[in-house]
């Protein structure tokens, strides 16, 4: 049986949110993203484990951990690895945990190399361009997918 834990994974350079290209990514910080995820998950009686890494292997290790812990789901913003990492794709497929891909910016309105995502092919949904609200929407969609109900 799956736990009530959602893993929220953020890839390279997302530790710089709030200062990195604010015209593209906004002024919210990674701490703001994590707090939003905690609040949203709590509304469904769920918990969140947040992890950010600039290293591909470390992200894969956390995906494996989510699988071993029978996590309820994964929300992942792979950053630049979205467009390059077959290894993260393979890890997501291997653990068989429902996953949603999130991007703060609309990657399809940006450089053409961002228009392809290996991660998207291993998730049941992708959200792009909603700013950090995409994380909230991802958790809500994941909750609906697994049948979790909002707490009143």
CATH number at residue 20: 3.40.50.9100
7, 44, 103, 135: the active-site residue: 103
Burial 27-57, CB ≥16 within 10 A → b, else e: ebbbeebbebbbebbebbebebbbbbbbebe
> What pLDDT, on the 0 to 100 scale, is given for residue 83?
85
Residue 102 has pLDDT above 90, yes or no: yes
**Mean pLDDT on 66-84:** 94
For residue 126, the surrounding DSSP H or E stretch is: strand 125-128
The pLDDT tens digits for 9-53 are 999 999 998 887 777 776 789 999 999 999 999 999 999 999 999
Residue 111 lies in a domain: yes
Q: Does the annotation count 25 as an active-site position?
A: yes
> What pLDDT, on the 0 to 100 scale, is given for residue 36?
98
Residue 51 lies in a domain: yes
**Mean pLDDT on 89-109:** 91
**Domain of residue 51, residue span:** 5-146
Residue 152 lies in a domain: no
User: Percent of the chain beyond pLDDT 90?
Assistant: 77
Separation between Cα atoms, residue 85 and residue 45, nearest integer Å? 32
7, 25, 44, 135: the active-site residue: 25
Which CA distances in Å does 123 have to 24, 29, 82, 148? 24, 25, 11, 18
> What pLDDT, on the 0 to 100 scale, is given for residue 80?
87
- What pTM was computed for the model? 0.92
- Please report which confidence band the pLDDT of residue 113 belongs to, taking 50, 70 and 90 as the band edges: low
Q: Does the annotation count 64 as an active-site position?
A: no
> What pLDDT, on the 0 to 100 scale, is given for residue 2?
65
Residue 151 lies in a domain: no
Q: Report the number of distinct structural domains present in the chain.
A: 1
């Amino acid at each position: 049986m799956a736990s009530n834990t959602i893993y929220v994974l953020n890839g390279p350079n997302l530790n710089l949110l709030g200062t990195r290209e604010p015209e593209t990514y906004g002024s919210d910080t990674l701490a703001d993203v994590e707090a939003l995820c905690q609040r949203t998950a709590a509304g469904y009686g769920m918990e969140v484990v947040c992890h950010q890494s600039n290293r591909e292997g470390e992200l894969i290790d956390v995906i494996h951990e989510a699988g071993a812990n029978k996590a309820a789901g994964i929300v992942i913003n792979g950053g630049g690895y979205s467009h390059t990492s077959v290894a993260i794709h393979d890890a997501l497929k291997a653990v068989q945990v429902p996953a949603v891909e999130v991007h703060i910016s609309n990657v399809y309105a940006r450089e053409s190399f961002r228009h392809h995502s290996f991660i998207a092919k291993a998730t049941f949904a992708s959200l792009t361009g909603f700013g950090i609200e995409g994380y909230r929407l991802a958790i809500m969609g994941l909750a609906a997918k697994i049948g979790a109900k909002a707490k009143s």
